[in-house]
Chain A
Amino acid sequence: MRLLDILYINTLRSLKLWLRFRVSFATSIVAMIANIAIFFFLGMAFGNAANSAVAIYGTTFFSFVLVGIAFNQYALMAVNDYLRIIRTAYFSNWMEILLSSRTMGYYLLSTIVWSFILTTFNLILYLVFGVFLFGANLIFPPNWWMIFVILFLTIISLSGIGLLGAAVFLRGAKGDLEPITWLTGIFAALVAGVYYPIEKLPAIVQTISKFLPHTYALRGVRLILLQGAGGGEIFSIIVYLALFSIVLFPLGYFLFIKSLKKAEREGTLVRWA
């Protein structure tokens, strides 16, 4: 019951804050459209060359990238938001209140839920703008259940990495850069196939990409949204994502809790003593 109350009040608060900044909202929409337009024009500029690079997906370069950048937002959220929330709580002195009111876990969870809601909203906008303003070709209606399973496992597995990053922050890396989330972000952008098909990259890069859950998630949603693939074809992708989830989430969660308890014991969660 307490969790539901906190989920409700934190979501309501976040929604009020989000709706308040109307100019910021409007500019984020403009930025989103501009981002989509960049890849639309790239697709136009390189024409057949760009389209032939993604021919194995049976679609155009623009549709391929649109799905990549839209769904990569979940990956960015899951990897970065735990650290962002913990860091904000630490630097804004919220941490002291959260600790003294014994609400840290609830706060973290409810804030992640809000991030998920916001990311889903952005994803829908990306796809709507891509399809209706720029003519992307997506299968509609897709297999929603398969997309849901892939997204769920993507968020769970990448939350493991996100929690690891937050754990590192709690253990003392309180500067601007946290290495785990930073490296994951760099590798994912380079080799997970957000902007180009990994099948066209050197073998070594393809091998590295196999160690990132992003790679499987993006391939899975592309198969569903661009080729209308069903359960059989993406079953192996789901198995890989499930394996990542089984390994990464418990590991991240365990180390995060351990670091939180250690930092509490050492009194390093509190600033300006």
Chain B
Amino acid sequence: MIKTTNLTKRYPLPGKMGFVTALNRVSLEIKEGEIYGLVGPNGAGKTTLLKTIAGLLIPEKGTVSVNGKDIIEDREQVRGSIEFLMSSGWIIFDYKLPLNFNLKYWGVMQGLGLNEAEKKAEEVLKLIGLGEYADASPENLSAGMRQKLNIARILLTEKPIYLLDEPTTGLDAVSANFTRNFIKKNLKKHDRTIIMATHNLWEAEELCDRIGILNKGKLLFSGTIAELKKKHGKKSLEQIFMKLVGGTEI
């Protein structure tokens, strides 16, 4: 289980102009094996929350525990149990080297032996639908294929928790559909816990067991879509979202 309690994180503004609050007393619980969607507009604090759970950012106040381990006290253990899909994470791959070598490289960097990393790279490339491009280089891939490569990296090692930062942003309908199906069919199995940040409401509805709506660092809602609709009494998810985040309905 992942539990955050009164999580607060501020970033200093340049020139000692004060702070911007990225997370404001966020408390939530995510159960093992659950897909939890973090929904919110740009700057809501979704990525900050994911990076804080991953132990990459340290909260100013509050606590995060992953399966009972504190992210500060037991940082190494927590990190060892989490794989983080970063938005545009494909930029870490060398654009000229073949996909299989790029993945083998990161497999070794992530703790696999040389032979194991080579085998695993081949395996995940096939799994993600890039098997025939194993010898191609990232510079020849479309945006959708690059995102697949990004996903392939996090599949190199088996982890109980996956944090996905906007996995379908910038993808065309076909690639986004592939990614969603992949998350449902491959990541959801084996009781993996997934937290996924997304802008897309219907994507969250399709994939997630529960969602949390963030705006300006505040968690405005946490629960199932059905609970959200019941609570706000409107038919359209978009209308509810706009009402919560203070946007303008068209």
Chain A residues proximal to chain B, CB less than 8 Å: 1-2, 5-6, 8-10, 13, 16-17, 20, 92-94, 96-103, 106-107, 264-267, 269-270, 272-273
Docked complex: B67-89 residues within 8 A CB-CB of A: 72, 75-76, 79-80, 82-84, 86, 89
Known contacts A13-B97, A264-B75; A1/B113 CB under 8 A: yes
Residues of chain B with a CB closer than 8 A to A103's CB: 109-111
CB <8 Å contact, A97 and B113: no
B135: CB under 8 A from chain A?
no
Most buried by B among A6, A10, A102, A267: A267
Give Cα A97–Cα B82 distance, bound, in whole angstroms: 11
B109: contacting residue among A9, A16, A17, CB under 8 A:
A9
Most buried by B among A13, A92, A272: A13
Give Cα A2–Cα B113 distance, bound, in whole angstroms: 7
CB <8 Å contact, A273 and B22: yes
Residues of chain A with a CB closer than 8 A to B105's CB: 9-10, 13
CB <8 Å contact, B11 and A273: yes
CB <8 Å contact, A6 and B109: yes
Interface range on chain B (Cβ under 8 Å from partner): 35 or more
Give Cα A92–Cα B84 distance, bound, in whole angstroms: 16
Residues of chain B with a CB closer than 8 A to A270's CB: 51, 56-57
Give Cα A103–Cα B55 distance, bound, in whole angstroms: 15
B92: CB under 8 A from chain A?
yes
CB <8 Å contact, B104 and A100: no
Shortest beta-carbon contacts, A-B, top 8: A267-B57, A267-B58, A101-B110, A9-B108, A270-B56, A103-B109, A273-B48, A5-B114
CB <8 Å contact, A93 and B91: yes
CB <8 Å contact, B109 and A101: yes
Give Cα A2–Cα B54 distance, bound, in whole angstroms: 23
| Known A5-B113, A13-B105, A99-B79; further 13 A-B contacts with Cβ < 8 A | A17-B96, A93-B86, A96-B56, A97-B89, A97-B92, A100-B79, A100-B82, A101-B109, A103-B110, A264-B58, A267-B51, A267-B57, A273-B48
Give Cα A106–Cα B108 distance, bound, in whole angstroms: 11
Q: What is the count of residue pairs linking A and B with beta-carbon distances less than 8 angstroms?
A: 88
Chain A residue at smallest Cβ distance from B153: A97
B29: CB under 8 A from chain A?
no
A216 to chain B, nearest CB (A): 37
A170 to chain B, nearest CB (A): 14
CB <8 Å contact, A102 and B80: yes
Residues of chain A with a CB closer than 8 A to B215's CB: none
Give Cα A207–Cα B117 distance, bound, in whole angstroms: 54
Residues of chain A with a CB closer than 8 A to B92's CB: 92-94, 97
B104: contacting residue among A9, A94, A273, CB under 8 A:
A9
Residues of chain B with a CB closer than 8 A to A106's CB: 109
Known contacts A13-B94, A273-B22; A100/B56 CB under 8 A: yes
Give Cα A152–Cα B111 distance, bound, in whole angstroms: 29
- 7 A-B pairs (CB sep. < 8 Å): A93-B86, A100-B82, A102-B111, A264-B75, A267-B52, A270-B57, A273-B22
Give Cα A6–Cα B113 distance, bound, in whole angstroms: 9
